[in-house]
Amino acid sequence: MNRLVTIIFFCILFITGCREPFNPEIEPADLSVLVVEGYLDTDGLPSRLKLSYTRNIQTDDSFSPSYPGAVVYLMSESGEEFPLADLGNGEFEFAYDIAEEDKYRLYISTNDGKSYTSELLKPILTPEIIDVGFVKNELGAEIYLTTKGDENADDFLWTYEETYAFRPKISSTYRYDTEREEVVIRGVDERTSLCYRGGVSADLILETSSRFEDQFVFRQSITQILQNDERLSLRYSILISQKALDKKASEFWEILRKNTNDLGSIFSPLPSNIGGNVNNDQNPDAPVVGYVSLGTVKQRRLFVDAREVIPWRAEVPAYFSCFIEPDTVLMEKYSQLFASGSFVPVVPIIPEGTFNPIGYQGAARRCTDCTLRGTNVKPDFWED
């Protein structure tokens, strides 16, 4: 037994003793490189261009984003300018209906005195999305689309934005009014029993239609929602954007996809040297990361209702150990227990033969208030 312990000890010592920190040698000049991301819609659909700087992974502020102040505009070969609106935090909005038969360049002037120009951009006409749908499978529910490429649009990039409705573990229509010192019914704007949340996915989904017969891309997988995910607990919406790419743009996004999705194990590829189609005017050899595309963006929205995927029981860690306290909070204790807002009245206790409650059973706010995790304002596009 002692011999075995000794062998195990020396094995651990050998394994840990051979591990040394790896500090890559990075030239300081490469630590702050402009990053340009954008697909500008030429039909007037508001689209965004994003500017940022790469960060030094060796500094404490490596996770703090850095955005350049800039003036950005698109210019046609005939000299017509289309300025982009500065939305802050490095985001710029483009909302123009421009001629697809013309060619354009993007110009960027940053506040540090540098200027950048894109290569000549030719808009690409993106085909319509033929169909969107979902199928329930052994993993949960898969969202898909069907489309068809043509001689001008062979490579595609799909992005999507999700929104879903959800309820808290315990619903309450009551709140404690500190001014009146009594429990009242919540107003419509104060409701905490139905909320919405979501956001833009960072997934990059790419495909080449010429890989398929007649360039028909059938049921391309967009996302897989795992069984019992909260997103399908009530009602779910996904807005899918389809963007046709030229060959160089497709290669850029494929490199970016590999670097963001495939890294993480010793078998993963090393980060590629990503370039793009934007150049530094003062120094053409200076690195600039990013690719700007012009074209029509086609969109389709899909709604999925919980009853379409039953059985589906959402498992939400935020609501674990939620329950209604069995003890009744009597009127004289309202201020003591409800005034802070962390404990909420839920169930009125009304003696038989009377109409007015003598008190309430309550629950923790985190279990009853969905606005802690979302918004109670229904999105404009939402369909019930």
| Residue range 215-261, pLDDT digits in tens | 999 999 999 999 999 999 999 999 999 999 999 999 999 988 887 66
Residue 121 confidence (pLDDT): 97
The pair of structure tokens assigned to 327 is 């003890």
CA–CA dist 250, 291 (Å, integer): 10
For residue 331, pLDDT over 90 is answered with: yes
Lowest mean pLDDT among 232-236, 313-317, 341-345: 313-317
For residue 26, pLDDT over 70 is answered with: no
Residue 81 confidence (pLDDT): 97
User: How confident is the model over 252-276, as a mean pLDDT?
Assistant: 64
Residue 13 confidence (pLDDT): 47
Candidates 331, 358, 356, 329; CA nearest to 343 is 329
Q: What is the pLDDT of residues 133-173, one digit of tens each?
A: 999 999 999 999 999 999 999 999 999 999 999 999 999 99
Rg of the chain in Å (alpha carbons): 28
For residue 2, pLDDT over 70 is answered with: no
Residue 10 confidence (pLDDT): 44
Type of residue numbered 193: S
The DSSP 8-state label assigned to residue 158 in this structure reads E
The pair of structure tokens assigned to 129 is 């999305």
Residue 55 confidence (pLDDT): 66
User: How confident is the model over 47-61, as a mean pLDDT?
Assistant: 74
Q: How confident is the model at residue 22 (pLDDT cuts 50, 70, 90)?
A: very low
Is 344:360 a contact under the CB 8 Å cutoff?
Answer: no
Cβ burial 188-209 (10 Å sphere, 16+ → b, else e): eeebbbbbbebeeeeeebebbb
The reply to whether omega before 311 is within 30° of 0 (cis) is yes
Q: How confident is the model at residue 31 (pLDDT cuts 50, 70, 90)?
A: low
Q: What is the pLDDT of residues 196-220, one digit of tens each?
A: 999 999 888 999 999 999 999 999 9
Q: Both ends of the chain: CA-CA distance in Å?
A: 68
The pair of structure tokens assigned to 144 is 């898909």
Residue 63 confidence (pLDDT): 52
Looking at every residue in the chain, the average pLDDT score rounds to 88
Q: What is the pLDDT of residues 92-144, one digit of tens each?
A: 999 999 999 999 999 999 999 999 999 999 999 999 999 999 999 999 999 99
Residue 215 backbone class (left: φ over 0; alpha: ψ -120 to 50; beta: rest): left
Residue 147 confidence (pLDDT): 98
Give me the residue spans of the domains in the chain: 29-127+246-299
Residue 257 confidence (pLDDT): 82
For residue 16, pLDDT over 50 is answered with: no
User: How confident is the model over 270-274, as a mean pLDDT?
Assistant: 54
pTM of the model: 0.84
What contacts 268, CB < 8 A, 6 or more positions away?
A: 262
Q: How confident is the model at residue 67 (pLDDT cuts 50, 70, 90)?
A: confident
Q: How confident is the model at residue 183 (pLDDT cuts 50, 70, 90)?
A: very high
Q: What is the pLDDT of residues 285-302, one digit of tens each?
A: 899 998 999 999 999 999
The pair of structure tokens assigned to 135 is 């199928």
User: How confident is the model over 42-61, as a mean pLDDT?
Assistant: 80
